[in-house]
Structure 1
Amino acid sequence: MSTLQHVTYRNLGWDSAADLYLPPDFDQGKTYPAIVSTHPIGSCKEQTSGSVYGRQLAEAGFVVLAFDASFQGASGGEPRFVEDPAIRVSDIRFAIDYLVTLPYVDANRIGAIGVCGGGAYTVSAAITDYRIKALTSITGVNFGRLMREGFSQFDPVGALNAMAQQRTTEAKGAPRHVINYLPESVEAGKQAGLTDIDVLEATDYYKSSRGQQPNGATSGLFSFNSAAMAWDAFAHAETLLTQPLLVVGDKPGAFGAYRDGWEIYGRAASKAKQMFVAEGWSHYDLYDRPEPVALTMAQVVPFFKTHL
């Protein structure tokens, strides 16, 4: 069994909280390849990035660091619930900064994995941080593209105007407007007329005992979401993303992971790149369902063992 340690380390002006997963029969006198695991938007380290993929990668022999994003979970930073892509990518860099200080981590064998929004953040980080030697994006979602489309009701200019007005109001002392990305339950979503597989299955995962965690708030600070509108997780991938890349896809849904997966697979300059579509399984099946997770790990573990 892997061993779990709770750790903190310094970020820009606050502390990051993370779970460090160590392999079975861990020997501090040896050196190990390490992987940074990045959670989805609105999630936390105790959910899929840590308890599922972090734990299983550790059991396969890797040191894994699953962290909470800045302004979210147990990590510091104010105001709370900021989802700023630039800072989320910076979080991955600080996670690597921490890993390279550990005497049992081989600094030349560091990989990165992310789920949903965390998958696209991982891609963006690897484009400019070559300490990442190989990366995996699981149902990766380009948050900038999602904000310009579904999360703004396909009216990004209108959304930006509303965000600007809200931020001005908050600067003058009004309470922060925190939105919930999901309905309170699957039933509530259906009653509101929602039918999309991603929205309803996300709600089933995050809002029930299946995946619910105290810090998995599925919340975002509305006025600060403007930072994502002009952001592209895959910018310059055609020239700068050169590391080995594994993309894991799923059924098409409103959050767009299937299409984003094929896009980065096509755009990446990586000479070694793989696309694995988990046929018949959906975005949120890949968060924790044993069979699709096992299919995914059968790709992920050999990929990292080959390239780290």
Structure 2
Amino acid sequence: MVDRTESIRFRSPGMAWDLAGNLYLPEEFDPQNTYPALVSVHPIGSCKEQTSGNVYAKALAKAGYAVLAFDASFQGASGGLPRLVEDPAQRVEDIRVAVDHLVTLPYVDADRIGGIGICGGGGYVINAAMTERRLKAVTSVTGVNFGRLSRESFTEYDPIAAMEKVAAQRTAEARGEDVRVNDYLPPSVEAGRAAGLTDIDVLEATDYYKTSRGQSTGGATSAAFSRSAAANGWDAFLGAEQLLTQPLLVVIGDKPGGFGAYRDGQEIYGRAASRDKRLIVLPGTSHYELYDQPEPTGAAIEAAVEFFGTHL
């Protein structure tokens, strides 16, 4: 099998830094032909080499799509300072920049571009589609509304108190103190359990990101605390009843966890204005099984191939 993956760097005019991407091309790629294309958006704390790239982009390229998986601004191998910022507005803008790059490629059909996102990437690609009309169809795989998650679990349901702490930390850093970086996860599953953590999403995330199962240099699973306030005022689904009109596929597992993908998937399916929308709930499946486990990811990929085949 020929490896058709290209490592690239790209930016939009006026952008001050590059984004790093892996472009996955069909096995029988011919630069004289034109292909439908997809932007694949990675989870919170992840990178292009993990599930958005090595699972979903790779499989969708095999199905005949040109797929661009990329690192978010301030993260992974992409540029931008300060590092380790998870800014929802910038994450959505990054998707637009990825589309900007795809439409410059002579072998991409600019009228057949879609988006797929996993975890927080699912929320981001849904939000982007509301105002990015070059995205003709979107798929969310165990998608999470990061704004809702930030206001709830990540702040222990007290966003005002959390933002006061962020404000104090940002002031301290502005006056010369070191940047405070928080890890989303414990160092190991065993350490998490010893600390009393029981949530399925936290423990399975740790098993994915902190072991050879999914660990990657670019997947930091950490963020600059002083830059975390903006997420509390953001909502991935705001305006969906009016603006989200593209065909929509939502894939979730039926094992709910603390990150809320089951809840968010049900919500956006109900709220989306899309005339053609589909919700798939995979039985006996957790959030992180949809990252890399063969049976659930196989089901999600099969559904996405059929969905994009119909709408692109």
Q: 1:193 aligns with which of 192, 196, 200?
A: 196
Q: Please show how residues 267-282 of structure 1 align to structure 2 within 5 Å.
A: 267-282=271-286
DSSP 3-state at the match of 1:133? coil
TM-score (norm 2): 0.98
- Structure 1: distance between partners of 2:129 and 2:205: 27
- Asked if residue 248 in structure 1 is aligned to residue 251 in structure 2, the reply is yes
Pick one of 90, 112, 118 that aligns with 1:87: 90
Which of residues 200, 205, 210 is equivalent to 1:207?
Answer: 210
Residue 142 of structure 1 corresponds to 145
**Post-superposition offset of 1:298:** 1.6
Distance 1:76 1:227 in 2: 20
**Counterpart check, 1:171 vs 2:174:** yes
Shift of 1:297: 1.3
Alpha-carbon RMSD across the aligned residues, in angstroms, is 0.6
Partner of 2:6: 5
Aligned residues: 308
Secondary structure, counterpart of 1:88 in structure 2: helix
2:18 counterpart residue number: 15
Task: Map 1:258-269 to 2 at 5 A.
Answer: 258-269=262-273
Distance 1:111 1:294 in 2: 19
**Structure 1: tracts of 5 or more residues without a match:** none
Shift of 1:72: 0.2
In 2, distance between residues paired with 1:162 and 1:270?
A: 40
Out of 8-17 and 244-253, give the one that drifted further. 8-17
Equivalents in 2 of 1:150, 1:259: separation in Å?
13
Which residue in 1 is equivalent to 2:41? 38
Once residues 64 and 295 of structure 1 are traced to their aligned partners in structure 2, the CA distance between those partners, rounded to angstroms, is 19
- Quote the offset at 1:307 in angstroms: 0.2
Instruction: Give the C-alpha shift of residue 45 in structure 1.
Output: 0.1
Please tell me whether residue 54 in structure 1 is matched to residue 57 in structure 2.
yes
Read off the aligned partner of 2:10 and give its amino acid letter.
Y
Alignment match, 1:302: 306
- Fraction of identical pairs, as percent: 65
1:129-169: CA deviations, max 9, x gaps? 01000000001110100010000011101001000000011
Q: Secondary structure at the match of 1:75?
A: coil
Q: State the 1:178 CA deviation.
A: 0.6
1:295: how far off? 1.1
Map of 1:128 onto structure 2: 131
1:28: Cα distance to partner? 0.2
Report the CA distance between 1:10 and its aligned residue.
1.4
Corresponding residue for residue 100 of structure 2: 97
How far off its partner does 1:71 sit?
Answer: 0.2
* Aligned counterparts of 1:81 and 1:71: Cα–Cα separation in 2: 5
**1:304 offset after TM fit, Å?**
0.3
SS of corresponding position for 1:34 = strand
How far apart are the structure 2 equivalents of 1:115 and 1:19? Answer: 16
**Structure 1 Cα separation of the partners of residues 94 and 222 of structure 2:** 18
Corresponding residue of 1:292:
296
Question: What is the CA deviation profile of residues 156-210 of structure 1, one whole-angstrom value per residue up to 9, with x for unaligned ones?
Answer: 0100100000001101111100100000000000000000000000000000000
Comparing 8-17 with 273-282, which one deviates more in the overlay?
A: 8-17
What secondary structure sits across from 1:82 in the alignment?
coil
SS in 2 for 1:132: coil
Runs of 4 or more, structure 1, over 4 Å off, are: none
Aligned partner letter, 1:299: A
SS in structure 1 opposite 2:136? Answer: strand
CA apart distance, 1:90:
0.2
